[in-house]
Amino acid sequence: DAGVIQSPRHEVTEMGQEVTLRCKPISGHNSLFWYRQTMMRGLELLIYFNNNVPIDDSGMPEDRFSAKMPNASFSTLKIQPSEPRDSAVYFCASSSGRLSGNTIYFGEGSWLTVV
């Protein structure tokens, strides 16, 4: 299995630009999570989907952030407009839910720098 696949791995963008991060979960997994990691705040859950439906988006920081999951094999996290404080590593993760005992597998992360 290829694991959770994220793109881009690294992105540097200017403040005000739109950023789109992409994720392909592990085939057969029905839960998908977007986490943000910073030195100051650690690992924060932004949003998670179950069977392509957003279940909990309470961690999404503000309206500049949006996430979609149009099908079981693809999700996007969009930041528009981006700000320097959005600089972080964004991890996508997936799990097969209760049957796997909630084991969550992380992608390699997207390293975002907003200048």
Partner 1 sequence: GENVEQHPSTLSVQEGDSAVIKCTYSDSASNYFPWYKQELGKRPQLIIDIRSNVGEKKDQRIAVTLNKTAKHFSLHITETQPEDSAVYFCAASMNFGNEKLTFGTGTRLTIIP
The one among 17, 80, 102, 113 contacting partner 1 by CB under 8 A: 102
- Amino acid present at 76: T
User: Which tokens sit at 70?
Assistant: 């149009």
- Closest contact distance (angstroms) between CB of 9 and partner 1 is 11
The answer to whether 115 contacts partner 1 (rule: CB under 8 A) is no
Q: Annotate each residue in 53-92 with x if it binds partner 1 (CB under 8 A) or - if it does not, as one string.
A: --xx----------------------------------x-
The answer to whether 34 contacts partner 1 (rule: CB under 8 A) is no
Report the distance separating Cα 64 and Cα 46, nearest Å. 12
The answer to whether 43 contacts partner 1 (rule: CB under 8 A) is yes
CA atoms within 13 A on the CB side of 52: 7
